[in-house]
Amino acid sequence: MRDQFWDIYDRIRSSNRYLLAFGLFVVWMSTMAEVDVFRMIQTRLERNHVEARIAETQADIQTLDEQLAEIQRDPQAKERHAREAYYMHKTNEDVYVFR
């Protein structure tokens, strides 16, 4: 057993140590480090997903701001919104909802 250890040690000593050190570094960085490659990729994917949701939300906010401005300007738009969103109706009027 001891001879096998010294044989491996001699082979490592005679071979390219820099290649071995680089290989150990790659294994360490890809699996055992606190900030490993896999976690970095996962974090980047999550960040892209969050940025996409932020862009969608900003587009929704802009649309809602435009609708609010239209409702504040035009009284007919206010009535139309109340009828469509809250199913409000005038007296003696029937409302049918089709979905």
DSSP for 36-68, written as a single string: -HHHHHHHHHHHHHHHHHHHHHHHHHHHHHHHH
Report the predicted TM-score, pTM, of the whole model to 2 decimal places. 0.57
> Could you state, in order of their start, the residue ranges of all structural domains in the chain?
1-33, 35-89
**pLDDT score at 62:** 98
Q: What is the pLDDT of residue 3?
A: 81
pLDDT at 89 (0 to 100): 81
CA 62 from chain centre, in angstroms, equals 21
Average pLDDT per block of 10 residues along the chain, 99 residues long: 80 75 83 80 96 98 95 90 83 80
